[in-house]
Amino acid sequence: MSGGVKRRLVLAHDVGTSSDKAVLLDEQGSLIATASASYPTHFPEAGFAEQDPLDWWNAVRTTTARVLSDASVEAHEVRALTFTGQMQGTLPVDAEGRPLMRSMIWLDARAGRQAREVTGGLIRVFGYGATRIARWLWLTGGAPSLTGTDPVSKIVWLRQSRPEIWRETAKLLDVKDYLLFRSTGRYVTSHDCANLTWLMDTRPGRRSWSSTILGMIGLRESLLPDLLAPTDPSGPLTAEAARDLGLNPGTVVMTGPGDVAAMSIGCGAVRGAAMHVSIGTSSWVAAHAPRRVSDPLSYVGPMCSADASRYLVVAAQQNAGNLIEWLRLRVLSDQGVPLSHEALSCLVNDCEPGSAHLTFLPWFAGERTPIDDAHARGGFLNLDLNHGRSHLARAVFEGIAYNTRWALSKVEPLVGTPQAGGLRLTGGGARSDVLSQILADVLDRPLVRIPRPEFAAARGAALLTLHALGVVDTFESLEALAPVERTFEPRPAHRRVYDQGFTAFTSAYHNNRRWFSRRNAGRGPL
Protein backbone atom coordinates (compact mmCIF):
# COMPACT_ATOMS: atom_id res chain seq x y z
CA MET A 1 0.00 0.00 0.00
CA SER A 2 1.19 3.47 -0.89
CA GLY A 3 2.18 5.30 2.29
CA GLY A 4 0.16 2.87 4.37
CA VAL A 5 -3.11 4.51 3.23
CA LYS A 6 -5.97 2.16 2.52
CA ARG A 7 -7.32 2.61 -1.01
CA ARG A 8 -10.98 2.15 -1.93
CA LEU A 9 -11.01 0.59 -5.38
CA VAL A 10 -13.50 -0.75 -7.92
CA LEU A 11 -12.68 -3.82 -9.99
CA ALA A 12 -14.52 -4.16 -13.33
CA HIS A 13 -14.43 -6.85 -15.99
CA ASP A 14 -15.43 -6.50 -19.64
CA VAL A 15 -16.05 -10.05 -20.86
CA GLY A 16 -16.01 -9.43 -24.60
CA THR A 17 -16.04 -11.56 -27.70
CA SER A 18 -12.32 -12.31 -27.74
CA SER A 19 -11.08 -11.59 -24.22
CA ASP A 20 -11.77 -10.39 -20.71
CA LYS A 21 -10.41 -6.93 -19.99
CA ALA A 22 -10.13 -5.94 -16.33
CA VAL A 23 -9.55 -2.53 -14.77
CA LEU A 24 -8.97 -1.21 -11.27
CA LEU A 25 -10.19 2.34 -10.61
CA ASP A 26 -9.86 4.47 -7.52
CA GLU A 27 -12.65 6.71 -6.20
CA GLN A 28 -11.39 9.64 -8.28
CA GLY A 29 -11.92 7.57 -11.44
CA SER A 30 -8.18 7.17 -12.04
CA LEU A 31 -6.99 4.02 -13.77
CA ILE A 32 -4.78 2.03 -11.39
CA ALA A 33 -4.17 -1.18 -13.35
CA THR A 34 -5.38 -3.12 -16.40
CA ALA A 35 -5.09 -6.70 -17.64
CA SER A 36 -6.56 -8.90 -20.36
CA ALA A 37 -6.88 -12.63 -21.04
CA SER A 38 -8.21 -14.19 -24.24
CA TYR A 39 -10.37 -17.26 -24.87
CA PRO A 40 -11.51 -19.04 -28.02
CA THR A 41 -14.75 -18.98 -29.96
CA HIS A 42 -15.87 -22.33 -31.37
CA PHE A 43 -17.55 -22.72 -34.77
CA PRO A 44 -18.64 -26.38 -34.83
CA GLU A 45 -21.11 -25.95 -37.71
CA ALA A 46 -22.08 -23.31 -40.24
CA GLY A 47 -23.90 -20.52 -38.43
CA PHE A 48 -22.77 -21.68 -34.97
CA ALA A 49 -20.62 -19.48 -32.68
CA GLU A 50 -20.06 -20.77 -29.15
CA GLN A 51 -17.95 -20.05 -26.09
CA ASP A 52 -17.30 -22.12 -22.97
CA PRO A 53 -18.56 -20.30 -19.83
CA LEU A 54 -15.68 -21.84 -17.85
CA ASP A 55 -13.29 -20.00 -20.17
CA TRP A 56 -14.95 -16.71 -19.18
CA TRP A 57 -14.59 -17.45 -15.48
CA ASN A 58 -11.00 -18.61 -15.82
CA ALA A 59 -10.16 -15.41 -17.71
CA VAL A 60 -11.79 -13.37 -14.92
CA ARG A 61 -9.68 -15.24 -12.36
CA THR A 62 -6.51 -14.61 -14.38
CA THR A 63 -7.06 -10.90 -14.94
CA THR A 64 -8.16 -10.32 -11.35
CA ALA A 65 -4.94 -11.84 -10.08
CA ARG A 66 -2.89 -9.74 -12.50
CA VAL A 67 -4.39 -6.36 -11.66
CA LEU A 68 -4.21 -7.03 -7.93
CA SER A 69 -0.59 -8.07 -8.24
CA ASP A 70 0.43 -5.26 -10.61
CA ALA A 71 -1.06 -2.61 -8.35
CA SER A 72 0.04 -4.30 -5.09
CA VAL A 73 -3.58 -4.31 -3.94
CA GLU A 74 -4.81 -6.18 -0.89
CA ALA A 75 -8.19 -7.87 -1.06
CA HIS A 76 -9.84 -5.58 1.49
CA GLU A 77 -9.03 -2.53 -0.67
CA VAL A 78 -11.48 -3.65 -3.39
CA ARG A 79 -14.72 -1.97 -2.40
CA ALA A 80 -16.85 -3.38 -5.22
CA LEU A 81 -16.77 -5.79 -8.17
CA THR A 82 -18.77 -5.36 -11.37
CA PHE A 83 -19.11 -6.87 -14.84
CA THR A 84 -19.97 -5.77 -18.35
CA GLY A 85 -19.46 -7.48 -21.68
CA GLN A 86 -20.95 -8.95 -24.82
CA MET A 87 -24.72 -9.26 -24.90
CA GLN A 88 -27.31 -11.49 -26.59
CA GLY A 89 -25.78 -14.75 -25.43
CA THR A 90 -27.94 -17.76 -24.62
CA LEU A 91 -26.70 -20.26 -22.05
CA PRO A 92 -28.91 -22.96 -20.50
CA VAL A 93 -27.92 -24.06 -17.00
CA ASP A 94 -29.31 -26.77 -14.74
CA ALA A 95 -30.81 -26.43 -11.27
CA GLU A 96 -27.32 -26.11 -9.76
CA GLY A 97 -26.28 -23.42 -12.25
CA ARG A 98 -24.04 -25.77 -14.23
CA PRO A 99 -23.80 -25.05 -17.97
CA LEU A 100 -25.58 -27.66 -20.08
CA MET A 101 -23.71 -26.70 -23.26
CA ARG A 102 -21.41 -24.01 -24.55
CA SER A 103 -23.07 -20.61 -24.77
CA MET A 104 -24.49 -19.42 -28.07
CA ILE A 105 -22.93 -15.95 -28.33
CA TRP A 106 -24.27 -12.89 -30.16
CA LEU A 107 -22.59 -13.94 -33.41
CA ASP A 108 -24.41 -17.28 -33.52
CA ALA A 109 -27.06 -17.34 -36.25
CA ARG A 110 -28.23 -20.95 -36.21
CA ALA A 111 -31.80 -19.90 -35.41
CA GLY A 112 -32.71 -18.19 -38.68
CA ARG A 113 -35.71 -20.45 -39.27
CA GLN A 114 -36.92 -19.92 -35.72
CA ALA A 115 -36.56 -16.15 -36.14
CA ARG A 116 -38.95 -16.28 -39.07
CA GLU A 117 -41.32 -18.50 -37.09
CA VAL A 118 -41.56 -16.28 -34.01
CA THR A 119 -41.99 -13.10 -36.06
CA GLY A 120 -44.25 -14.57 -38.75
CA GLY A 121 -47.88 -14.07 -39.68
CA LEU A 122 -50.36 -14.32 -42.56
CA ILE A 123 -49.77 -10.73 -43.63
CA ARG A 124 -46.07 -9.90 -43.83
CA VAL A 125 -44.45 -6.49 -43.81
CA PHE A 126 -40.75 -6.52 -44.81
CA GLY A 127 -40.54 -10.15 -43.73
CA TYR A 128 -42.41 -9.71 -40.42
CA GLY A 129 -45.94 -10.72 -39.53
CA ALA A 130 -47.89 -7.46 -39.29
CA THR A 131 -49.57 -8.27 -35.97
CA ARG A 132 -46.44 -9.55 -34.27
CA ILE A 133 -44.18 -6.72 -35.40
CA ALA A 134 -46.78 -4.25 -34.10
CA ARG A 135 -46.76 -5.97 -30.69
CA TRP A 136 -42.97 -6.01 -30.50
CA LEU A 137 -42.65 -2.38 -31.49
CA TRP A 138 -45.23 -1.35 -28.90
CA LEU A 139 -43.77 -3.40 -26.05
CA THR A 140 -40.02 -3.26 -26.76
CA GLY A 141 -39.50 -0.35 -29.14
CA GLY A 142 -37.91 -2.71 -31.67
CA ALA A 143 -38.09 -6.27 -32.96
CA PRO A 144 -35.92 -9.39 -33.26
CA SER A 145 -33.62 -9.67 -36.25
CA LEU A 146 -34.61 -12.10 -38.97
CA THR A 147 -31.01 -13.38 -39.03
CA GLY A 148 -31.61 -15.58 -35.95
CA THR A 149 -28.93 -13.93 -33.82
CA ASP A 150 -31.25 -12.80 -30.99
CA PRO A 151 -31.86 -14.82 -27.81
CA VAL A 152 -35.61 -15.13 -28.40
CA SER A 153 -34.89 -17.12 -31.58
CA LYS A 154 -32.05 -19.12 -30.01
CA ILE A 155 -34.31 -20.13 -27.12
CA VAL A 156 -36.88 -21.52 -29.55
CA TRP A 157 -34.09 -23.32 -31.44
CA LEU A 158 -32.87 -24.87 -28.19
CA ARG A 159 -36.34 -26.11 -27.31
CA GLN A 160 -36.89 -27.58 -30.77
CA SER A 161 -33.44 -28.92 -31.57
CA ARG A 162 -31.98 -29.96 -28.21
CA PRO A 163 -34.93 -31.39 -26.23
CA GLU A 164 -32.59 -33.39 -23.96
CA ILE A 165 -30.91 -30.12 -22.87
CA TRP A 166 -34.21 -28.25 -22.68
CA ARG A 167 -35.61 -30.80 -20.22
CA GLU A 168 -32.70 -30.09 -17.84
CA THR A 169 -32.75 -26.31 -18.25
CA ALA A 170 -33.53 -24.37 -15.08
CA LYS A 171 -32.39 -20.91 -16.25
CA LEU A 172 -31.44 -19.18 -19.49
CA LEU A 173 -28.56 -16.76 -18.98
CA ASP A 174 -26.61 -14.14 -20.87
CA VAL A 175 -22.82 -13.89 -20.51
CA LYS A 176 -22.83 -11.36 -17.68
CA ASP A 177 -25.69 -13.19 -15.97
CA TYR A 178 -23.56 -16.32 -15.67
CA LEU A 179 -20.66 -14.37 -14.14
CA LEU A 180 -23.00 -12.71 -11.66
CA PHE A 181 -24.30 -16.15 -10.69
CA ARG A 182 -20.75 -17.45 -10.22
CA SER A 183 -20.03 -14.43 -8.04
CA THR A 184 -23.19 -14.19 -5.94
CA GLY A 185 -25.25 -17.37 -6.41
CA ARG A 186 -28.15 -15.24 -7.73
CA TYR A 187 -29.78 -15.36 -11.15
CA VAL A 188 -30.06 -11.72 -12.21
CA THR A 189 -29.72 -9.67 -15.37
CA SER A 190 -29.65 -5.95 -16.11
CA HIS A 191 -32.41 -4.09 -17.93
CA ASP A 192 -30.30 -3.38 -21.00
CA CYS A 193 -29.23 -7.01 -21.45
CA ALA A 194 -32.81 -8.20 -20.91
CA ASN A 195 -33.97 -5.62 -23.46
CA LEU A 196 -31.95 -7.32 -26.23
CA THR A 197 -33.53 -10.71 -25.61
CA TRP A 198 -36.70 -9.10 -27.07
CA LEU A 199 -38.69 -10.63 -24.21
CA MET A 200 -38.90 -7.47 -22.07
CA ASP A 201 -41.49 -4.70 -21.84
CA THR A 202 -39.31 -1.59 -22.07
CA ARG A 203 -42.05 1.04 -21.96
CA PRO A 204 -41.42 3.89 -19.51
CA GLY A 205 -42.24 2.78 -15.99
CA ARG A 206 -42.39 -0.91 -16.94
CA ARG A 207 -39.00 -2.60 -17.46
CA SER A 208 -40.32 -6.10 -16.75
CA TRP A 209 -40.52 -9.40 -18.60
CA SER A 210 -43.46 -9.19 -21.02
CA SER A 211 -46.15 -11.77 -20.36
CA THR A 212 -47.52 -11.03 -23.84
CA ILE A 213 -44.27 -11.90 -25.64
CA LEU A 214 -43.60 -14.88 -23.37
CA GLY A 215 -47.05 -16.15 -24.23
CA MET A 216 -46.39 -15.69 -27.96
CA ILE A 217 -43.47 -18.13 -27.81
CA GLY A 218 -44.72 -20.33 -24.95
CA LEU A 219 -41.89 -19.54 -22.51
CA ARG A 220 -42.18 -19.68 -18.73
CA GLU A 221 -40.91 -16.57 -16.91
CA SER A 222 -39.37 -18.84 -14.26
CA LEU A 223 -36.68 -19.76 -16.81
CA LEU A 224 -35.47 -16.16 -16.90
CA PRO A 225 -33.30 -14.33 -14.34
CA ASP A 226 -34.58 -11.54 -12.12
CA LEU A 227 -34.41 -8.01 -13.52
CA LEU A 228 -32.27 -5.34 -11.87
CA ALA A 229 -30.97 -1.92 -12.83
CA PRO A 230 -27.26 -1.83 -13.72
CA THR A 231 -26.74 0.32 -10.63
CA ASP A 232 -28.30 -2.25 -8.30
CA PRO A 233 -26.16 -4.62 -6.23
CA SER A 234 -26.71 -8.21 -7.32
CA GLY A 235 -25.46 -9.50 -3.98
CA PRO A 236 -22.37 -10.03 -1.85
CA LEU A 237 -19.46 -12.06 -3.18
CA THR A 238 -19.77 -15.67 -2.01
CA ALA A 239 -17.00 -17.37 -0.07
CA GLU A 240 -16.34 -19.78 -2.96
CA ALA A 241 -16.07 -16.97 -5.53
CA ALA A 242 -13.91 -14.96 -3.16
CA ARG A 243 -11.45 -17.86 -2.92
CA ASP A 244 -11.39 -18.13 -6.72
CA LEU A 245 -10.77 -14.43 -7.25
CA GLY A 246 -8.57 -13.64 -4.28
CA LEU A 247 -11.07 -11.11 -2.90
CA ASN A 248 -12.88 -10.76 0.41
CA PRO A 249 -16.17 -12.61 0.93
CA GLY A 250 -19.02 -10.14 1.12
CA THR A 251 -17.49 -7.69 -1.36
CA VAL A 252 -20.33 -5.83 -3.08
CA VAL A 253 -21.05 -7.15 -6.58
CA MET A 254 -22.88 -4.61 -8.75
CA THR A 255 -25.16 -5.83 -11.54
CA GLY A 256 -23.48 -3.61 -14.14
CA PRO A 257 -24.55 -2.77 -17.70
CA GLY A 258 -23.91 -4.51 -21.01
CA ASP A 259 -21.08 -3.35 -23.20
CA VAL A 260 -22.98 -0.71 -25.23
CA ALA A 261 -24.16 1.20 -22.16
CA ALA A 262 -20.79 0.71 -20.48
CA MET A 263 -18.95 2.07 -23.52
CA SER A 264 -21.11 5.17 -23.57
CA ILE A 265 -20.02 5.91 -20.00
CA GLY A 266 -16.40 4.90 -20.41
CA CYS A 267 -15.90 7.24 -23.38
CA GLY A 268 -17.83 10.12 -21.80
CA ALA A 269 -20.88 10.11 -24.12
CA VAL A 270 -23.42 10.64 -21.33
CA ARG A 271 -24.86 14.16 -21.71
CA GLY A 272 -27.92 14.98 -23.80
CA ALA A 273 -27.87 13.15 -27.13
CA ALA A 274 -24.14 12.44 -26.91
CA MET A 275 -23.12 9.84 -29.49
CA HIS A 276 -20.30 7.33 -29.65
CA VAL A 277 -18.79 4.95 -32.18
CA SER A 278 -17.30 1.69 -30.97
CA ILE A 279 -14.91 -0.30 -33.15
CA GLY A 280 -14.21 -3.65 -31.52
CA THR A 281 -14.63 -7.17 -32.87
CA SER A 282 -18.00 -5.86 -34.02
CA SER A 283 -19.04 -2.22 -34.12
CA TRP A 284 -21.91 0.09 -33.34
CA VAL A 285 -23.09 3.68 -33.31
CA ALA A 286 -25.14 4.68 -30.26
CA ALA A 287 -26.66 7.83 -28.81
CA HIS A 288 -28.76 8.68 -25.79
CA ALA A 289 -32.39 9.71 -26.32
CA PRO A 290 -35.13 10.77 -23.87
CA ARG A 291 -37.66 8.37 -25.41
CA ARG A 292 -37.85 5.20 -27.46
CA VAL A 293 -37.25 5.94 -31.15
CA SER A 294 -36.51 3.38 -33.83
CA ASP A 295 -36.20 2.61 -37.52
CA PRO A 296 -37.29 -1.05 -37.73
CA LEU A 297 -36.56 -1.25 -41.47
CA SER A 298 -32.88 -0.54 -40.75
CA TYR A 299 -32.75 -2.56 -37.53
CA VAL A 300 -31.99 0.58 -35.49
CA GLY A 301 -33.74 0.64 -32.17
CA PRO A 302 -33.70 1.76 -28.55
CA MET A 303 -32.40 -0.16 -25.61
CA CYS A 304 -32.43 0.65 -21.93
CA SER A 305 -29.62 2.94 -20.87
CA ALA A 306 -27.70 2.75 -17.63
CA ASP A 307 -29.52 6.03 -16.90
CA ALA A 308 -33.05 4.92 -16.04
CA SER A 309 -34.54 8.15 -17.43
CA ARG A 310 -33.21 7.62 -20.97
CA TYR A 311 -32.67 5.10 -23.73
CA LEU A 312 -29.75 4.33 -26.03
CA VAL A 313 -30.51 4.29 -29.75
CA VAL A 314 -28.19 1.67 -31.25
CA ALA A 315 -27.12 0.65 -34.76
CA ALA A 316 -25.08 -2.54 -34.33
CA GLN A 317 -22.92 -4.16 -37.02
CA GLN A 318 -21.45 -7.64 -37.14
CA ASN A 319 -17.86 -7.06 -38.26
CA ALA A 320 -15.12 -4.47 -37.73
CA GLY A 321 -11.92 -5.29 -35.83
CA ASN A 322 -12.19 -8.96 -36.74
CA LEU A 323 -11.76 -7.94 -40.38
CA ILE A 324 -8.45 -6.27 -39.58
CA GLU A 325 -7.31 -9.44 -37.84
CA TRP A 326 -8.43 -11.49 -40.85
CA LEU A 327 -6.39 -9.17 -43.07
CA ARG A 328 -3.29 -9.51 -40.89
CA LEU A 329 -3.59 -13.27 -40.35
CA ARG A 330 -5.03 -14.59 -43.61
CA VAL A 331 -4.20 -12.14 -46.41
CA LEU A 332 -1.05 -10.19 -45.59
CA SER A 333 0.81 -12.70 -43.43
CA ASP A 334 4.24 -13.93 -44.46
CA GLN A 335 4.69 -17.71 -44.16
CA GLY A 336 2.16 -17.83 -41.36
CA VAL A 337 3.57 -14.82 -39.49
CA PRO A 338 0.85 -12.13 -39.13
CA LEU A 339 1.62 -8.68 -40.43
CA SER A 340 2.25 -6.37 -37.49
CA HIS A 341 -0.17 -3.54 -36.76
CA GLU A 342 2.64 -1.06 -37.37
CA ALA A 343 3.42 -2.53 -40.79
CA LEU A 344 -0.28 -2.60 -41.63
CA SER A 345 -0.60 1.10 -40.78
CA CYS A 346 2.34 1.86 -43.06
CA LEU A 347 0.69 -0.06 -45.90
CA VAL A 348 -2.55 1.87 -45.45
CA ASN A 349 -0.72 5.20 -45.41
CA ASP A 350 1.14 4.25 -48.59
CA CYS A 351 -2.16 4.13 -50.49
CA GLU A 352 -4.15 7.15 -51.61
CA PRO A 353 -7.65 7.76 -50.17
CA GLY A 354 -10.24 5.83 -52.14
CA SER A 355 -7.92 2.85 -52.67
CA ALA A 356 -7.77 3.50 -56.43
CA HIS A 357 -11.50 2.74 -56.79
CA LEU A 358 -11.23 -0.58 -54.93
CA THR A 359 -14.27 -1.34 -52.77
CA PHE A 360 -14.24 -3.73 -49.81
CA LEU A 361 -17.47 -5.31 -48.54
CA PRO A 362 -17.23 -6.12 -44.78
CA TRP A 363 -20.22 -8.46 -44.33
CA PHE A 364 -18.26 -11.60 -43.50
CA ALA A 365 -20.90 -12.81 -41.03
CA GLY A 366 -23.96 -11.28 -42.63
CA GLU A 367 -25.11 -7.91 -41.37
CA ARG A 368 -27.60 -6.32 -39.02
CA THR A 369 -27.73 -2.56 -39.47
CA PRO A 370 -28.91 -1.25 -41.79
CA ILE A 371 -29.69 -4.28 -43.99
CA ASP A 372 -30.49 -7.15 -41.55
CA ASP A 373 -29.30 -9.71 -44.09
CA ALA A 374 -27.85 -13.08 -43.09
CA HIS A 375 -26.90 -13.83 -46.70
CA ALA A 376 -24.67 -10.80 -47.31
CA ARG A 377 -20.98 -11.60 -47.66
CA GLY A 378 -17.67 -9.81 -47.96
CA GLY A 379 -15.20 -9.31 -50.73
CA PHE A 380 -13.16 -6.94 -52.86
CA LEU A 381 -14.86 -5.35 -55.86
CA ASN A 382 -13.24 -3.65 -58.84
CA LEU A 383 -9.82 -5.26 -58.53
CA ASP A 384 -7.38 -4.72 -61.40
CA LEU A 385 -3.74 -5.56 -62.13
CA ASN A 386 -2.54 -2.27 -60.68
CA HIS A 387 -3.86 -3.02 -57.17
CA GLY A 388 -1.40 -4.30 -54.57
CA ARG A 389 -1.11 -4.96 -50.85
CA SER A 390 -1.48 -1.33 -49.84
CA HIS A 391 -4.73 -1.00 -51.81
CA LEU A 392 -6.15 -4.13 -50.18
CA ALA A 393 -5.18 -2.87 -46.73
CA ARG A 394 -6.63 0.60 -47.15
CA ALA A 395 -9.80 -0.74 -48.78
CA VAL A 396 -10.50 -2.87 -45.68
CA PHE A 397 -10.13 0.16 -43.40
CA GLU A 398 -12.33 2.24 -45.68
CA GLY A 399 -14.93 -0.55 -45.93
CA ILE A 400 -15.26 -0.58 -42.14
CA ALA A 401 -15.63 3.21 -42.21
CA TYR A 402 -18.23 3.17 -45.00
CA ASN A 403 -20.29 0.60 -43.12
CA THR A 404 -20.10 2.78 -39.99
CA ARG A 405 -21.22 5.80 -42.03
CA TRP A 406 -24.19 3.77 -43.27
CA ALA A 407 -25.17 3.02 -39.68
CA LEU A 408 -24.67 6.65 -38.64
CA SER A 409 -26.95 7.77 -41.47
CA LYS A 410 -29.77 5.78 -39.85
CA VAL A 411 -29.15 6.97 -36.27
CA GLU A 412 -28.81 10.71 -36.86
CA PRO A 413 -32.36 11.25 -38.21
CA LEU A 414 -33.68 9.72 -34.97
CA VAL A 415 -31.55 11.60 -32.44
CA GLY A 416 -30.10 14.59 -34.30
CA THR A 417 -26.57 15.38 -35.42
CA PRO A 418 -23.77 14.96 -32.88
CA GLN A 419 -22.86 17.75 -30.51
CA ALA A 420 -20.30 20.33 -31.62
CA GLY A 421 -17.51 18.40 -29.94
CA GLY A 422 -18.03 15.45 -32.27
CA LEU A 423 -18.49 11.73 -31.71
CA ARG A 424 -16.66 9.84 -29.00
CA LEU A 425 -14.56 7.01 -30.44
CA THR A 426 -13.81 3.87 -28.48
CA GLY A 427 -13.07 0.14 -28.69
CA GLY A 428 -9.90 -1.71 -29.58
CA GLY A 429 -9.98 -0.47 -33.18
CA ALA A 430 -9.71 3.09 -31.92
CA ARG A 431 -6.10 2.42 -30.91
CA SER A 432 -5.18 2.81 -34.58
CA ASP A 433 -4.49 6.44 -35.49
CA VAL A 434 -4.81 5.52 -39.17
CA LEU A 435 -8.24 3.91 -38.80
CA SER A 436 -9.40 6.74 -36.52
CA GLN A 437 -8.46 9.36 -39.13
CA ILE A 438 -10.11 7.41 -41.94
CA LEU A 439 -13.27 7.14 -39.85
CA ALA A 440 -13.26 10.91 -39.26
CA ASP A 441 -12.77 11.56 -42.98
CA VAL A 442 -15.45 9.11 -44.14
CA LEU A 443 -18.00 10.14 -41.49
CA ASP A 444 -17.13 13.84 -41.98
CA ARG A 445 -17.33 14.26 -38.21
CA PRO A 446 -14.73 15.04 -35.54
CA LEU A 447 -13.91 11.92 -33.51
CA VAL A 448 -12.82 12.29 -29.90
CA ARG A 449 -10.72 9.45 -28.48
CA ILE A 450 -10.11 8.65 -24.83
CA PRO A 451 -6.90 7.10 -23.46
CA ARG A 452 -6.75 3.28 -23.59
CA PRO A 453 -9.97 3.00 -25.63
CA GLU A 454 -9.87 -0.81 -25.58
CA PHE A 455 -10.67 -0.65 -21.84
CA ALA A 456 -13.56 1.82 -22.21
CA ALA A 457 -16.33 -0.68 -21.43
CA ALA A 458 -14.66 -1.98 -18.27
CA ARG A 459 -13.88 1.57 -17.22
CA GLY A 460 -17.48 2.61 -17.90
CA ALA A 461 -18.80 -0.20 -15.70
CA ALA A 462 -16.41 0.87 -12.93
CA LEU A 463 -17.43 4.54 -13.24
CA LEU A 464 -21.10 3.58 -13.08
CA THR A 465 -20.33 1.68 -9.88
CA LEU A 466 -18.83 4.85 -8.39
CA HIS A 467 -22.09 6.61 -9.22
CA ALA A 468 -24.14 3.76 -7.72
CA LEU A 469 -22.07 3.92 -4.52
CA GLY A 470 -22.71 7.66 -4.23
CA VAL A 471 -19.12 8.67 -4.92
CA VAL A 472 -20.19 10.51 -8.12
CA ASP A 473 -23.38 12.51 -7.61
CA THR A 474 -25.05 12.48 -11.04
CA PHE A 475 -24.94 10.36 -14.16
CA GLU A 476 -23.91 13.39 -16.24
CA SER A 477 -20.96 14.02 -13.91
CA LEU A 478 -19.36 10.83 -15.24
CA GLU A 479 -18.36 12.72 -18.40
CA ALA A 480 -15.65 14.57 -16.46
CA LEU A 481 -14.05 11.24 -15.54
CA ALA A 482 -13.50 10.29 -19.21
CA PRO A 483 -10.56 12.48 -20.31
CA VAL A 484 -9.86 13.24 -23.98
CA GLU A 485 -6.59 11.98 -25.46
CA ARG A 486 -6.92 13.20 -29.05
CA THR A 487 -9.42 14.62 -31.55
CA PHE A 488 -9.35 13.53 -35.19
CA GLU A 489 -10.72 16.26 -37.48
CA PRO A 490 -12.14 15.36 -40.93
CA ARG A 491 -9.99 16.54 -43.81
CA PRO A 492 -12.00 18.49 -46.42
CA ALA A 493 -9.58 17.48 -49.19
CA HIS A 494 -10.91 13.90 -48.97
CA ARG A 495 -14.61 14.75 -48.83
CA ARG A 496 -15.37 14.19 -52.53
CA VAL A 497 -13.53 10.88 -52.92
CA TYR A 498 -15.19 9.46 -49.81
CA ASP A 499 -18.66 10.62 -50.83
CA GLN A 500 -18.15 8.82 -54.13
CA GLY A 501 -16.74 5.79 -52.35
CA PHE A 502 -19.72 5.61 -50.00
CA THR A 503 -22.16 5.74 -52.91
CA ALA A 504 -20.27 2.90 -54.59
CA PHE A 505 -20.28 0.94 -51.33
CA THR A 506 -24.04 1.11 -50.72
CA SER A 507 -24.89 0.46 -54.38
CA ALA A 508 -22.64 -2.63 -54.30
CA TYR A 509 -24.98 -4.17 -51.72
CA HIS A 510 -28.22 -3.13 -53.42
CA ASN A 511 -27.00 -4.38 -56.80
CA ASN A 512 -25.89 -7.73 -55.38
CA ARG A 513 -28.50 -8.38 -52.68
CA ARG A 514 -30.41 -10.95 -54.74
CA TRP A 515 -27.18 -12.58 -55.86
CA PHE A 516 -26.09 -12.96 -52.22
CA SER A 517 -29.46 -14.50 -51.39
CA ARG A 518 -29.28 -17.02 -54.22
CA ARG A 519 -25.64 -17.87 -53.64
CA ASN A 520 -25.93 -18.33 -49.87
CA ALA A 521 -29.43 -19.76 -49.53
CA GLY A 522 -29.42 -22.36 -46.78
CA ARG A 523 -26.08 -21.20 -45.33
CA GLY A 524 -25.55 -19.51 -42.00
CA PRO A 525 -23.54 -16.28 -41.89
CA LEU A 526 -20.27 -17.95 -40.85
> What's the pLDDT tens digit per position in 278-302?
999 999 999 999 999 988 888 898 9
pTM of the model: 0.92
| Residue 86 forms part of a structural domain | yes
Give the strands of the sheet with 423-426, arranged side by side: 301-304, 311-317, 283-289, 275-279, 423-426, 447-449, 486-488
Cα 176 from Cα 174, distance rounded (Å): 6
| Residue 310 belongs to a domain | no
Between 5 and 384, name the one with better pLDDT. 384
pLDDT at 4: 54
Within a domain: 41: yes
Taking only the tens place, the pLDDT of each residue in 469-515 is 999 999 999 999 999 999 999 999 999 999 999 999 999 999 999 99
> Residue range 214-237: average pLDDT?
97
Confidence of residue 253 (pLDDT cuts 50, 70, 90): very high
Residue 320 domain-assigned? no
CA distance 362 to 218: 37
- Report how far residue 353's alpha carbon sits from residue 490's, in angstroms, rounded to the nearest whole number: 13
List Cβ<8 Å contacts ≥24 apart for 387-392: 387/355, 387/356, 387/358, 389/332, 389/347, 390/347, 390/348, 390/350, 390/351, 391/351, 391/355, 391/356, 391/358, 392/327, 392/331, 392/332, 392/358, 392/360
pLDDT for residue 2: 45
CATH number for 26: 3.30.420.40
DSSP state of 30: -
Concatenated DSSP letters of 8-26:
-EEEEEEE-SSEEEEEEE-
Band (pLDDT 50/70/90 cuts) for residue 260 is very high
Report if residue 130 sits inside a domain.
yes
- 82 domain-assigned: yes
In this model, does residue 147 exceed pLDDT 90?
no
**How many structural domains comprise the chain?**
1
Is it the case that residue 145 has pLDDT exceeding 90? no
Q: Does residue 209 lie in a domain region?
A: yes
Q: Cα dist. 157→177, 203, 208 in Å? A: 20, 27, 23
Residue 120 falls inside a structural domain: yes
What integer pLDDT is reported at residue 419 of this predicted model?
A: 61
pLDDT of res. 325: 95
Q: Domain range holding 109? A: 2-256
Segment 358-402, tens digit of pLDDT: 999 999 989 989 998 989 999 999 999 999 999 999 999 999 999
**Does 153 score more than 90 pLDDT?**
yes
Strand partners, 403: none
| pLDDT tens per residue, range 46-83 | 889 999 999 999 999 999 999 999 999 999 999 999 99
335 CB burial (10 A radius; 0-12, 13-18, 19+): exposed
Task: Provide the pLDDT for residue 1.
Answer: 44
Pairing of strands 233-236, 252-254: antiparallel
Whole-number pLDDT of residue 490: 97
463 neighbors 265 (Cβ within 8 angstroms): yes
